[in-house]
Chains A and B, each alone.
Chain A
Amino acid sequence: MPKTNPGAPEAVDLTGLRGLLESRPPEARELLPLLRDIQTRYRHLPEEAVRGLSEYLGLPLARVYAVSRFYKSLSRVPKGERLVKVCLGTACHLRGAPALLEALEGKLGLALGETGKDGRFTLESVNCVGACALAPVVMLDDEVHGKLNDESLADLPL
């Protein structure tokens, strides 16, 4: 399990929650989309937001909570503003992902799984993003950066 160091969990300002929930109809099929919306807005799933979601959808809190804990991209603790995901899949591994990871850890001053104290970055690993032809690959949020080497790594907007 990657460890996390979210710092002291601050009280989250949930003023916009109502509007965020109401952007989708209160139907069970919106459970996962709304969990993702909450994750995107708050960089994690604040407890109060998960409770609010269960009420809004009329679904048992236990079920909503279980779903919220199933996916790796949904987090209980705040993630950094930007997600840096190093692919450690087979193709990337063979093309030097371990060294790439080490270089990134040094560059960001973070160990795998950590979020910086300033909340700017979270460093994670994934097991193949489906872009093996571009190995080794790093994802910055939703952007794929492939064929990384020392030079192109230095060019990453980090």
Chain B
Amino acid sequence: MEIPEERLRWIYERMVTIRRFEDRVAQEFAAGKLPGFVHLYAGEEAIAVGVCAHLTDRDYITSTHRGHGHCIAKGVDVRSMMAELFGRSTGACKGKGGSMHIADVDKGMLGANGIVGGGPPLACGAGLMAKVKSTDQVAACFFGDGAAEQGTTHEAMNLAAIWKLPVVFVCENNLYAESTPWTYHCAASDIASRAAAYDMPGVLVDGADVFAVYEAAGEAITRARRGEGPSLLECRGFRYYGHFQGDAVTYRTKEEEEEYRRRDPIERFRKTVLSQGLLTEDELNAIDEAVAREIEQAVRFAEASPLPSPEECLTDVYVDYPVAQLAFRH
């Protein structure tokens, strides 16, 4: 599948943004500046970006606890994301959600999700909306290998299939659910073949190869837009960091991690576009620099932003419930 030059640049810029964002978040977290906990997406950039390269702001995605990459690929403002992680009032969710709940409905980003398996039914809902309203919108549903074992994921795939919903299920098989290897938690030898149970196409893709993801996602999304129903992609990849920051990662070996580094999605992209003369080294470096500046500005913006007022806690529970009744009496 031919990728227009403009898209190629976008793909690189988004992948690098995710990587730099996550590396920076790791630093800020280690410095004790971020409340709560964070799950980082570094290493998996090609999946979110390869899929979202086919989507517009009108299309929807659902995400996971490891959601920063999906947000960036879907065009959520990086400054508002960083401010959210810092718990500031300028954050994407005004500081109410944090890492696991970053959302931007106007950008079609239906939220990172703290519940494993929470997203797939929501994606069916977005697909149902598009079908009922006869639009050509689609919903892409990102979920982990661990989430593949939730009942909700199976129910959602069946529902999407019987209603022929424009949903693309994207399983990010990064080989582990927390410390549990997928070869333990999954009875089958791949997740893609589960598509057969729901009579939909299922494809196994190299999740560290953005060209492969782009191509497979393109077919699935085109099919969904044409009203031909859902598909399942299993993108095999890896996460560089631990399950969350603080995970000692005793379950992986050094050799395994070195092997990941050899397959780095960003390095591979660079090699491919340079060797095929699609983009120049100068162009790529210029993007690197611009991204570095953007991330730096995002952190400055976050740090300069105020914390929410404590009473802000009481807003946004309902559209129209009196705030006084939400408050405690003492």
Pair from one complex: no
